[in-house]
Amino acid sequence: MGNPAPPPHQATPARPASSPFRAAWLAPVLKPLRPLFFEVAGGSLFVNLLALAAPVFVLQVYDRVVYHAGLSTLSGLAIGMALVVAFDFLLRQMRARVMQAVSLALDVKIGRQLFDKVMALPLRTLESRPLGYWQQLFRDLDVVRNTLSGSSAILVFDLPFAILFMALVFIIATPVAWVLLVALCAFLTLAWLSARQVGRSVDKEKANQQSRDALLAETIMGRTTIKALSLGEHLRPIWESKQSDTIHQSVERGTLNDRYVNIGQALTVITSVSMTTVGALAIINQDMTIGGLVAANMLSGRLLSPLNQLVGAWKTYSGFRQSIERLNGLFLSPQDNTSSHLTMPRPKGVLTLEKVSFRYRPDGKPVIDELALEITPGGITTIMGRNGCGKSTLLKIMLGLYPCAQGRVLLDGADISQFTRRELANWIGYVPQESVLFAGSIRDNIAQGKPGASDEDILSAAQAAGVHQFVIDMPDGYATNVGEAGGLLSGGMRQRIAIARALVGQPPVLLMDEPSGSLDRQAEEQLRHTLSELAKSRSVVIVSHSPVLLQGSRTLVVMEGGKILCAGPTAEVMRFLAAQQQAKAQQAAAATAPPATQGATPPATEGPKA
């Protein structure tokens, strides 16, 4: 397969950007949408300019029509206002349609980007976070979309026009404009205080929600165990505690938010009363007209309305900031190699481990400790050992799911770290200890092992896995729905379909973790025959303690404490294990025998070399 290439460089995770606009992943998504945002800005400009028509209409009616009985002027103004209202409606509809287009584009682009990123993350990263965290990321997608394309985005476009309304008030009603300016400063201060306190409360509420959702996810995943062992009474206090914390924090956040919203409404009333009072005094002194006062009050409503919305919208903006920070952390995380610079030929299947070590934590004990092994086609290699000795972890290292802390794994002499996940999945078939199927038909689940697999490929794999006869005996055959996670099928059926899924691509290396765990004796014998045939042209590695499968094994590897205790031809290793067990039995018997018979030492045994 050529000379090994160096492992791909993986970027060190960086600290998430504190500002949404410094999110490198978001900029390429928003750049093509700039024309749409410009359209929204243009629409908002005309909508806010048309908003001036109503105050001007009132001003003219009070100052000219009423005093001079100008009915023709009134008719002209009314017709003009009707046209303004119609045009305003069309502009708002256009702006809403554009924002819908923005929402759809954000949903599609960020959704695809997020899904691809999650799929490219290393398995250890995926395992290091609870299920609720990954669900929250996709809810964050909804928050980002709604914030950038909803009423909160429209509010951002409308806020700058407060300066225009303020300037117009100074022109038509200078005496009351200073009251409005003081109110504007008060609203900005209120919005700043709301942002600080409500933002902190939202952070705590999200943390409590994630803790509660993590428990809920575990409960749903373990529903069978919970029902079987009647664990509901045990879980209820835990759930109630987390739910109580979430509700308490939600109430606290709601109380803070309502307080600032109510203060904002009170300020609006105070501003209106103050403007009317000052305006009345100015009218008495003939410094302004009644029409000017009424128009100024109408403009103050247009000015203060977005500020009032801003006070209540900080929860949305705070949630947006949190979502952006979480997504920043995700997109800055290192990922598996996703691009191949050269198409490699199909490997022969020689798998070599060179002093491989692995730890789940940097400061933890090695789970795999300087393990060296070579696996070649032509026979079944069986790995066995006590629980927790590292068998399943070793398979994931061979598959490239776990990176080596030391050493490396070679496929036909090439370091597997240079290959993409798709390439390794095509070359190395894998059957996990817990067979997981996906909602859909049996055919769909088998075909997942080889995108675009033909009917012949699927039938051949199903027959090799011993599941074909069971499938065609069903009313819907290969179109049978397996249900969520394969829940409509038995454990044995799920296991066989998982084996067929691993075989459909005819990979040169096949790794299977306890493949007969849910199979009966007859199915085990059939599986042994199938694996023996497959092993003639490929490397087959199984983790198993099944005597039936051991009968077809060429090489047996026994692990203990993350190391190889002994390895070699299956018959020799089995004799060594039997002799070792016999020696231990003799030692135990000697320890309990009378003193006169003690002192005899059983013969030493030496296992085959790895």
pLDDT, residue 394, reads 92
Mean pLDDT across the stretch 386-393? 88
Which among 365, 352, 433 is positioned nearest to 397, based on CA atoms? Answer: 352
- Region 594-601 average pLDDT: 52
Q: Give the whole-number percent of the chain exceeding pLDDT 90.
A: 10
Query: Taken in order 486, 489, 490, 494, is the CA torsion positive or negative?
Result: negative
Q: What is the DSSP string of 293-352?
A: HHHHHHHHHHHHHHHHHHHHTHHHHHHHHHHHHHHHHHHTS-------SSPPPPP---EE
Question: Who's near 349: CB < 8 A, 6+ residues apart?
Answer: 376, 377, 411, 412, 508, 509, 538, 539
Local confidence band at 600 (pLDDT 50, 70, 90 cut-offs): very low
Domain assignments of the chain as residue spans, ordered by start: 25-332, 351-585
pTM: 0.75
Q: Cα separation of 338 and 423, whole Å? A: 10
Q: Is the pLDDT of residue 338 over 50?
A: yes
Q: How confident is the model at residue 381 (pLDDT cuts 50, 70, 90)?
A: very high
Residue 351 confidence class, pLDDT cut points 50, 70, 90: very high
Return the pLDDT at 395: 92
User: pLDDT tens digits for 81-126?
Assistant: 899 899 989 998 998 899 888 888 888 888 899 999 998 899 888 8
Nearest by Cα to 608 from 576, 561, 584, 585: 576
Least confident of 14-23, 164-173, 480-489, 578-587: 14-23
Distance between CA atoms of 203 and 201, rounded to whole angstroms? 5
Superfamily assignment of 25-332 in CATH? ABC transporter type 1, transmembrane domain (1.20.1560.10)
Give residue 169's pLDDT: 83
Q: What is the pLDDT of residues 464-492, one digit of tens each?
A: 888 888 889 889 888 989 888 888 888 88
Q: Between these two residues, 568 and 313, which has the higher pLDDT value?
A: 568
- Enter the tokens of residue 580: 């070792």
CATH C-level class of 351-585: alpha beta
- Distance (Å, whole) CA 316 – CA 202: 9
- Determine the pLDDT at residue 410: 93
Higher pLDDT, 132 or 281: 281
Between 438 and 207, the higher pLDDT residue? 438
Residue 230 scores a pLDDT above 90: no
Pick the residue with more confidence: 187 or 407?
A: 407
- pLDDT, one tens digit per residue, over 34-85 is 888 888 888 888 888 888 888 878 777 877 777 677 777 788 888 888 998 9
Closest CA to 107 of 136, 135, 148: 148
Burial bucket for residue 345 (CB in 10 Å: 0-12, 13-18, 19+): exposed
Q: Do the domains 351-585 and 25-332 match in fold?
A: no
Contact criterion met (CB below 8 Å) for 44 and 35 = no
Task: Give the span between the Cα atoms of 233 and 242, in whole angstroms.
Answer: 15
